[in-house]
Chains A and B, each alone.
Chain A
Amino acid sequence: MKNFAHSWKVRVGLGLLAVYGLLALFGPALNSLLGLDPRAIDYGATGQPPSAAHWLGTTTGGEDVLAQVLAGTRGSVVVGLIAGILSTAIAVLVGVIGTFAGGKADACTTFLTNLFLVLPVFPLILVVAGYLQGGGVLMIGLLIGFFGWPGGARTLRAQTLSLRNRDFIVAMRMLGERRWRLVFVETMPHLAGWTSAMFLHAVVGAVLAEAGLAFLGITSPDAVSWGTMIQQANQQSALLRGLWWWFVPPGACIALLGLAAGLVNFGIDEIANPRLKAARRSLVKQVDKRARTIAARPEPVEQEIPR
């Protein structure tokens, strides 16, 4: 793990994710600390650009944009996490465990994957969410997660199939290793890269999907998220009226989240492949050694070396 945070990309990515995590946790508390309220209406300042009173300006309804971004982070992050965890869990269950179970279980899970793969997911979520009106971010997250796993499951299945017949798994099986340990101890660590990349992808996808749903009006009226902010801004033609401070912050939040996920993915490759790490470590060692021998070389000898 030490080497994971080695590259600046990973560090920046993790830093951004941490900021989002903190905002999701403490955003509402921060709001009350700053004396802000995402629902409070300032009748004296409607549709105002950023100012000392409202750091990120106000909406046409006179609500503070900063307060809404802070409150909305929790909504979006919760949707992303719930959907990410749910869809990754299902993908692992179906893709890895189904493949190891073999036989009928494998046939069933493959059928299920293919079925979900051809379903038009977004319209389906749209219909179901419209039908379940008012469930809030939790329901939206579960819904996105429930429909979002088949791609990941298929990838994991392909990886698992190739791993399952590799000599080291066969060798452990001949040793009499239990099946669940073959899955979780011997195989899953090799899929850690795939799985975490999938998870990040699912989180970002869910945040986008939530925004899309909100944009289409599929959201509960009391929920605040980046998506609902963009939807309201759009409803009030913020773009046409040049109220950029209303829709840029939530949009930037979504874009930055995607960027952070991408940056972290760079580092994941390395945990999944210890040989990559070792190659770099030995290179570092070689360089160190050279530096040391050069430093340790007695002066006169250095002068004798013909240039």
Chain B
Amino acid sequence: MTARKTPVPTPVLEAVGVTRHFDVSGVLGRTQVVRAVENADLTLHRGEIVALVGESGSGKTTLARLLALFHPVTDGEIRLEGTVVRPGTKAAKAYHSSVQMIFQDPFGSLNSMRRVRHNIERALRLHGHAAASKAERRQQVLELLERVNLTPAEHFIDKLPHELSGGQRQRVVIARALAVRPSVLLGDEPISMLDVSIRLDMLNLLARLRDEDGLSLLYITHDIAGARYLADRVCVMYAGQLVESGPTEEVIQHPKHPYTRLLLESSPDPERLMNPELGSAFDRTVSPGEPPSLVSPPPGCRFHPRCPSARDECRRAFPGRTEFPSGQWTHCWLHGSGGNRLTAPSNTGDHQADQRR
């Protein structure tokens, strides 16, 4: 799929310098700080699918949950159509009319005691889209089921979740999210638990929602091939930080960050789309070396202990953002950070402060 042009200048959804720290109580009651997401910038434009890739524990789910206002941010801002939103406020309630999340596990995200109809009708009702008459509401539910390819819809409307397959459930989950008429879907590995044979179908469904309805999607995945097939842009996350982003093909053909290169190399042949072994190919086995601790991450570039091209400055300070004419940007000293740095990354200062402490 060719990279599509970014259509509108104001992003629908935007994370600006978003940071999330978790306090966890370690041994002996000492509280430790898990720096799950650090100074992340992410934008989603209308009708755009952005893939968020990175190994396990890199903070992808946390970032999605921040965008879903499920956690409050430690620092930074979430903006919807340019307006800052905070959890717990009135605006946050309205926020969920625009932003909905699709969970990884379709077996867990539907109430096992409630029928398909209940889920979708509640979504319609809570967002003021429900029709007045019962027959009309039924029609609305049927239409939503058809939109996610659950046909014949009459057959599914009164099913309980355990009577459906994983793929069918995930379609119900998507239909429930669509009932809200959102502009953004946040998909946290939405197809990773589904049977391989239907993954391509689901990807096509998501692509259709983008193309026909102008929906924006944050697509979190471990599967580079799937991301390549579906996404307009790719963001690469490492140890809580976004290290590279750009149009999908550019990032895959010309990765700028050594970690991106590593991800791509360890991913099985990206041409063999939807290969069974491909699903979680590089999740836990990326390279020699362990992902760093998020409690005391390495100073400077967090990737330096594993980076084949690490140099002195990599250990000292976090590199600034370097932007490229291709639309890519990255944080890496290899690309002469500082020279054509357009945005000053505040986490550089952060790290120097850390070292001083």
Contacts and interface: CB of A to CB of B under 8 A. Distances in A.
5 contacts: A167-B108, A171-B176, A172-B111, A190-B113, A274-B112
B162 A278 contact: yes
B113 A177 contact: no
B14 to A, nearest CB: 19
B13 to A, nearest CB: 15
Interface in A170-196: 170-172, 174-177, 185-186, 189-190
**Chain B interface bracket (under 10, 10 to 19, 20 to 34, 35 or more):** 20 to 34
B172 to A, nearest CB: 11
B163 A278 contact: yes
Contacts of B112: 168, 190, 274-275
A297 interface: no
B110 interface: yes
B68 A186 contact: no
Interface string B169-186: 000010010001000000
A189 B96 contact: no
Contacts of A166: 108
A268 to B, nearest CB: 14
Interface in A121-176: 166-172, 174-176
Contact of B101 (A171, A186, A190, A274): A171
A54 B180 CA distance: 72
B163 A177 contact: no
Going nearest first, the 10 A-B pairs with the smallest beta carbon separation are A167-B108, A167-B109, A168-B111, A176-B126, A189-B113, A167-B103, A171-B109, A275-B162, A175-B123, A176-B96
Contacts, number: 57
A174 to B, nearest CB: 6
A190 B111 CA distance: 9
Nearest to B93: A176
Interface of B: 68, 70, 93, 96-97, 100-101, 103, 105, 108-114, 122-123, 126-127, 160, 162-163, 173, 176, 180
A297 B70 CA distance: 59
A185 B122 CA distance: 11
Contacts of B97: 176
Given A167-B108, A171-B103, A175-B123, 17 more contacts: A167-B109, A170-B70, A170-B109, A171-B109, A171-B110, A171-B176, A174-B70, A175-B122, A176-B93, A176-B97, A185-B114, A186-B114, A189-B113, A190-B112, A274-B162, A275-B112, A275-B162
Contacts of B110: 168, 171
A186 B115 CA distance: 12
A176 B127 contact: yes
A17 B141 CA distance: 42
B108 A177 contact: no
Given A174-B100, A176-B96, A186-B111, A167 B105 contact: yes
Contacts of A190: 112-113
Contacts of B123: 175
Listed residue (B97, B112, B113, B122) with the most chain A CB atoms within 10 angstroms of its CB: B113
